[in-house]
């Protein structure tokens, strides 16, 4: 099973993810994505869902019209793990 990142590894990893914000509860990272409309938002979610299923690592997320809020946390570890960092980079590559 994958473990939580140490404080130091977490800080190093987050320096490379400037658009993601630390969340205390559940411990993880979050980012808001905004699109022109619902179709843009849902298309993005479809692409993230395929990534997430391939990685066997799944976001906590919500969608309201053109907005998608994503929280990444590792349930098995009870906090932030390398899997969250890897998925955040993959999501950024899709979005930006």
Ligand X SMILES: C[C@H](O)[C@H](O)[C@H]1CNC2=NC(N)=NC(=O)C2=N1
Span interacting with ligand X, options 11-19, 39-47, 61-69, 72-80, rule CB under 6 A: 72-80
In this structure, the chain runs to a length of 96
Q: Indicate whether 56 belongs to the interface with ligand X (CB under 6 A).
A: yes
Q: Indicate whether 74 belongs to the interface with ligand X (CB under 6 A).
A: yes
Asked if 82 and 10 touch (Cβ cutoff 8 Å), the reply is no
Q: Indicate whether 76 belongs to the interface with ligand X (CB under 6 A).
A: yes
Interior/surface letters 42-80, b for 16+ CB within 10 angstroms, e for the rest = eebbeebeebbeeeebebebebeeeebebbbbbeebebb
Question: In this chain, which of 58, 79, 86, 90 binds ligand X, going by CB under 6 A?
Answer: 58
Q: How near is the Cβ of 42 to ligand X at its closest, in Å?
A: 21
Interface residue list for ligand X (CB under 6 A): 56-58, 73-76
């Amino acid at each position: 099973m994958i473990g939580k990142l140490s404080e130091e590894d977490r800080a190093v990893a987050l320096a490379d993810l400037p658009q993601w914000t630390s969340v205390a509860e559940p411990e993880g990272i979050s980012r808001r994505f905004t699109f022109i409309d619902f179709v843009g938002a849902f298309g993005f979610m479809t692409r993230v869902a395929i990534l997430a299923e391939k990685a066997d690592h799944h976001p906590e997320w919500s969608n309201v019209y053109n907005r998608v809020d994503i929280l990444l946390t590792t349930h098995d570890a009870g906090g932030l793990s390398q899997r969250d960092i890897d998925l955040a980079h993959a999501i950024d590559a899709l979005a930006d």
